[in-house]
Structure 1
Amino acid sequence: MVVHLAETTNPWGGHAWVTADSPTKTVVLVDNRTLYPPATGRTSRSFGNKVLHSSLFDIGILRDTLLPSLTLHSGLALVAYAAGRYTNRLETKDWLWPSAQVLNAWWSALGKRVICDGIPLSSAWAIVDRPQRLLLTGVTLWGSRLFWRIANRSVKRGSGKDDPRYEATKKQTGWSWNKALFTTYLPEAVFQTLITLPFTAPFRHLAGSDCPFSSLSGGYAAVGQAVAVGLFSMGFALEVLADWQLEKFKEREKEGKESHSAMCREGVWSIVRHPNYLGDMLVHLSFPLLLFASNALQPIHLLGPLTNYIFLRYVSGDKENEHSQARRYSTENVNKKIDFDRYRREENAFWPDKSQVSNKWAWIVVGAGVAGALLEGLVTHVIA
């Protein structure tokens, strides 16, 4: 089947479509050129100029990807803000963080094509190739798990109780709900717009798809995709293990089996102080790596993991979390503050140091990555 997409004036970057006569193979055309051309293993002499022009300096990406994504995330941020203000819970922004990114990915891949372009769902899904389906699967697994974790934690805390970090934030001088929209919710919508580039731009920004940043074929492409899946699996395992081990530690603490003055330093928490954030970074780094292995990477896609790293390290993430911990422990549990300071001296915050080579939990995470890559390869082989 041939699906012909022609540029339209749709403000969401939509395209008209026409099916043609081949029932055995899906070929996607944009203005009579192939959208996903097969890798040839050759690169043109003007490769660099074409990539930069079509990706970094193409104003079209503002129209078809960045502005629509910003509109979507800003609209959802307004809804989350209204819910947060009504319930006096700032953590509504945390509920939005994973769910909005997953929603944007699926809207870009299918929703826009079905609703805005009028393509039947079956045809829209046929356009999505195997690497893109891997991309959507990874984003959905990451976002669904994180959303469940946040929602479960919120429900256990009880109605009317905000995250302890945000309870402290709301008590700060000068903080108000009137300001929160412009200092918290909308700025995070901007971050989400950039972070989602690796799994929205491939579906929205068609310019430059004929001059990808990479040109791998055969075994090299397969190895690259396996590495991407392995990296995702490592990050996902880190997040799952970190949350599970911390939850078990807190349960033992409540039962009196752990000291109330001790920090959780077992399992993956012995690798770095924030294994969940490290896992999140690895997950997001795997997306452009998958695009690279699939000959679909454009330089602008790299803004996704870079922005996510900046957010985790310097905006929210470990910086905000440790600032809140230090403040709470100083007033509520001085002995725990002492152990917290010791933990900060002995373990890195984000990146493991060389001594972690002998840490069995580091190798367990690596093993999870290898297992994930092998499992995905086996499933693909069986389906094929």
Structure 2
Amino acid sequence: MGVRTVSRTASLGVVVVAYLLALGAAWGVVIAAPPSWHPLLTAFVADLVATLLVFALSMVFDNASLYDPYWSVAPPVVAAWWVAVSGTGDGLRQAVVLLLIVVWAVRLTGNWAYGWRGLHQVDWRYDQLRATRGRVPWWVVNLGGIQLMPTLVVYLGLLSVWPALAGSRPFGWLDVVATAVTAGAIALEAMADLQLHRFAAAAENRGRILATGVWRRTRHPNYLGEIALWWGLWLFGLAAAPTWWWTLVGPVAMVVLFKAASIPLMDRRSLARRGGYADHMREVPALLPRLR
């Protein structure tokens, strides 16, 4: 049976089974890991093994988008395990951080599932990479550029979550700031996606540019929300264990990913498909809204 004949419901079932298998493979790493391994190392190896399994299944079904929900599915699993093995940490902070990560993950995964039509649908960016890869084998591009690279970037973002969950400092004012930043980021992403879905659903908006609501202030409010979320998690880590300040490499990596890859790709596509988008780019900043 070709993937084009698989229903959306069956396709989502394939994704669920794939991720349960990936979870099982990751748990196998946790069980087999030497006691001397730090939880950061164990989680990293388990993360890589799970990614490799999802990659293998994406090749079986010839659909790199099988990896897409991994971005939001893996972090709450890692965070929940870290809470279980930390042995220390402020209970209130652990509860707040874990709750925020779960809310973010459920919403973002749900948004992906809402827009995914099935195994016959592949993200246009992956098709573009496949068409322009030259002589590089597709499996190399799929594994390195589409799957391993995001896994590594998300893991860098998660580095600050470990001190946030294991740090012993009591919940304080910086945690309040971190809560506001992280919750605000989740709300911004949710609002941006809701406005985008409503705009795209109206036939009269076909070919037009969304420049209302939060999209009036920034061209990519969903990306801004995603970046802000990882900075908020870093603030939690800083509040719990200031010596782990260096984990800012995570949110910095997020900024680089979106600024250097995601935003240019989206802007080039919009320039090619929507008249007046060049003027829109001059009028509306890519990420941070103007003060005026």
TM-score, length-normalised on structure 2? 0.78
Partner SS for 1:76 = helix
- Mark the CA change 1:223 to 1:70 in structure 2 (over 3 Å): closer, same or farther: closer
1:273–1:344 contact (8 Å) kept in structure 2: yes
- Find the partner of 1:109 among 76, 83, 88: 83
Counterpart check, 1:268 vs 2:214? yes
CA distance in 2: counterparts of 1:201 and 1:190, whole angstroms? 18
Counterpart check, 1:238 vs 2:184? no
Which residue pairs with 1:349 in the alignment? 286
TM superposition shift of 1:11: 8.1
TM superposition shift of 1:238: 0.8
Aligned pair count? 260
TM superposition shift of 1:88: 2.1
- Find the partner of 1:280 among 222, 226, 244: 226
TM superposition shift of 1:350: 1.0
Which residue pairs with 2:93 in the alignment? 131
Question: Over residues 254-291 of structure 1, what are the superposed CA-to-partner deviations in whole Å (9 max), with x where a residue is unaligned?
Answer: 3xx32x23111111001110001111111111112223
Counterpart check, 1:177 vs 2:138? yes
CA distance in 2: counterparts of 1:288 and 1:13, whole angstroms? 28
Return the index of the structure with the highest Cα Rg.
1
Which residue pairs with 1:98 in the alignment? 72
Map 1:312-327 to 2 at 5 A: 312-315=258-261, 317-327=262-272
Question: Over residues 276-318 of structure 1, what are the superposed CA-to-partner deviations in whole Å (9 max), with x where a residue is unaligned?
Answer: 1111111111112223344566223322222222222224x32
CA distance in 1: counterparts of 2:35 and 2:98, whole angstroms? 20
Q: Which runs of 5+ in 1 are unaligned?
A: 1-9, 16-62, 114-123, 330-335, 356-384
Q: Could you say which structure has the higher helix fraction?
A: 2
1:291–1:297 contact (8 Å) kept in structure 2: no
TM superposition shift of 1:13: 7.5
Partner SS for 2:160 = helix
Which residue pairs with 2:178 in the alignment? 228
Q: Which runs of 5+ in 2 are unaligned?
A: 1-30
Which residue pairs with 1:166 in the alignment? 126
Root mean square deviation, CA, Å: 2.7
Question: Over residues 332-368 of structure 1, what are the superposed CA-to-partner deviations in whole Å (9 max), with x where a residue is unaligned?
Answer: xxxx1x222221111110111122xxxxxxxxxxxxx
2:209–2:277 contact (8 Å) kept in structure 1: yes
TM superposition shift of 1:14: 5.0
- Find the partner of 1:84 among 50, 54, 58: 58
Partner SS for 2:69 = helix
TM-score, length-normalised on structure 1? 0.61
TM superposition shift of 1:247: 0.3
Map 1:1-384 to 2 at 5 A: 12=33, 14=35, 63-110=37-84, 112=85, 129-154=91-116, 157-174=117-134, 176-179=137-140, 180-203=142-165, 222-252=172-202, 254=203, 257-258=204-205, 260-294=206-240, 298-315=244-261, 317-327=262-272, 329=273, 336=274, 338-355=275-292
Question: Over residues 28-70 of structure 1, what are the superposed CA-to-partner deviations in whole Å (9 max), with x where a residue is unaligned?
Answer: xxxxxxxxxxxxxxxxxxxxxxxxxxxxxxxxxxx51543232
